[in-house]
Structure 1
């Protein structure tokens, strides 16, 4: 059943609406690849997570395009943006990249919707360049904050099992580069968790396309990028506490529990922040819980993006 289903999935190029504009923008000294829905509407910048790309937001952009000028960007080393080069891949560089992009497009102030790494990047942009950001949505925030002296639970650097899986994942990604679309669709089934249903076409195809276009250097360095994650988390929390713009913070766990997902409002110590918990959901709530995610984003943007 799964094999026959993904055999019908189309290439990513056929899923992108024809009216979206695809272009490169030089900002912060690098070439950044973007997709833009267009129109004289409030600008919303979507920033993807690690090992994703701009089109990971395909379904979200479709849902928002009637009301907003949606800009999706490939982070450096991802998609069709510039490769890493000698500068590597740091939070400081990503923050400067997105700030530079917003300035280059002349869109400030914008609303930012970020997932995982994209969320932390949005937080740092809003903290360091408050003139550029009107409001921010952060999805995939872990319920348990990491501490410098205690690695986060499930830190891959502490798990031999994860290291073995990581090597198999690297081999999988490397093989994708020489495979046909049909072969990639079938190979992707090996990456699903036991019992996990095949994702919808837009999600499944976009996820595999993101792997295909990952900078090989980023693939090889992915494990080492976990080093210092606890310290970076503390820095991000400090930046979040300094923000004065409206913030919607969506929290979830690392993995789904298998129980029904419920949405709960959580207390916030900051008057400008709304905190929502996706109970029993995994990290990727913008895909696993798309309907609830996009409903919350729409409501927040309707209030603060204008």
Structure 2
């Protein structure tokens, strides 16, 4: 199935449209895909093409991203959004896979709505070795950096954004860049306004389903460190882990074949 044959639409939650793309067919097990910060649902396209023969794939644009609605929200709001998408589009429980911000969102989904998911996989969640709720000053510093990034991107052509992306990520497949370029133009200014890094231990302790944590190499930009992985596995019997060597934070984009082997093996 080609991308122009994929379905797309909106699930409306409290008057806010959440945009989604869907492929694979509803007669198959459902796998919900949650993207990272500044990406959009179509940034999962390469994974979706690889998995659509065996899964009903739903790729969601998070609030303030892609074609979804705008407005200040918390990480719990994003998790509840995914719950609404599942309830609106399919029969629970489903599988779910998230990257970075989306990994944290999927973990929140499993913690807050355990009946809706049966297996989840988390690609390099941004969980710190010394967890805690981010203070206001640190959060505002991140927001200011984000505002400057948005302002710089708004002045760039698509060709310039593409050139920047290829310079920053020379090991990515060309297939990754069309959605990535588009997604950088679609980030709403409220994307960080209501969000702070939170203590991930709260959600991790509440997860009741099989959970695979996929992590890369810290020296290549991976955010999840070995001590955190060990703490997750020791703290909750539901967790298992897969290290992907030669990858940093964008694991599927940097070591696609190894990543797909891990993901497909887990959800099979």
Same fold (TM over 0.5): yes
Cα deviation code 1:167-204 (max 9, x no counterpart): 6522332124xxxxxx412333234556x426323211
How far apart, CA to CA, are the structure 2 residues paired with 1:79 and 1:149? 27
Evaluate the alpha carbon distance shift between residue 59 and residue 82 of structure 1 in structure 2; reply closer, same or farther with a 3 A threshold: same
RMSD: 3.0
Task: Please say if residues 127 and 240 of structure 1, whose CA atoms lie closer than 8 Å, have aligned partners that are also in contact.
Answer: yes
How far apart, CA to CA, are the structure 2 residues paired with 1:143 and 1:131? 24
Q: Secondary structure at the match of 2:125?
A: strand
Task: Please say if residues 30 and 90 of structure 2, whose CA atoms lie closer than 8 Å, have aligned partners that are also in contact.
Answer: no
Evaluate the alpha carbon distance shift between residue 20 and residue 241 of structure 1 in structure 2; reply closer, same or farther with a 3 A threshold: same
Q: CA deviation at 1:107?
A: 2.3
Cα deviation code 1:124-155 (max 9, x no counterpart): 1111111100110000135852333899xxx8
Unaligned ranges ≥5, structure 2: 222-228
Matched, 1:199 2:172: yes
Out of 239, 244, 248, which is 1:278 matched to? Answer: 244
How far apart, CA to CA, are the structure 1 residues paired with 2:2 and 2:189? 25
1:247 match: 211
How far apart, CA to CA, are the structure 2 residues paired with 1:167 and 1:106? 36
TM-score, normalised by the number of residues in structure 2: 0.83
**Structure ID, larger Rg:** 1
How far apart, CA to CA, are the structure 2 residues paired with 1:120 and 1:169? 23
Unaligned ranges ≥5, structure 1: 1-14, 177-182, 258-264
How far apart, CA to CA, are the structure 2 residues paired with 1:134 and 1:284? 25
2:123 match: 139
Matched, 1:256 2:229: no
Between the two proteins, the alignment pairs up a number of residues equal to 257
Matched, 1:111 2:83: no
How far apart, CA to CA, are the structure 1 residues paired with 2:171 and 2:52? 26
1:6 match: none
Matched, 1:189 2:163: yes
2:224 match: none
Matched, 1:55 2:28: no
Matched, 1:46 2:33: yes
Matched, 1:289 2:263: no
Matches within 5 A, 1:33-182: 33-39=19-25, 40-84=27-71, 88-141=72-125, 144-148=128-132, 169-176=149-156
Evaluate the alpha carbon distance shift between residue 38 and residue 143 of structure 1 in structure 2; reply closer, same or farther with a 3 A threshold: closer
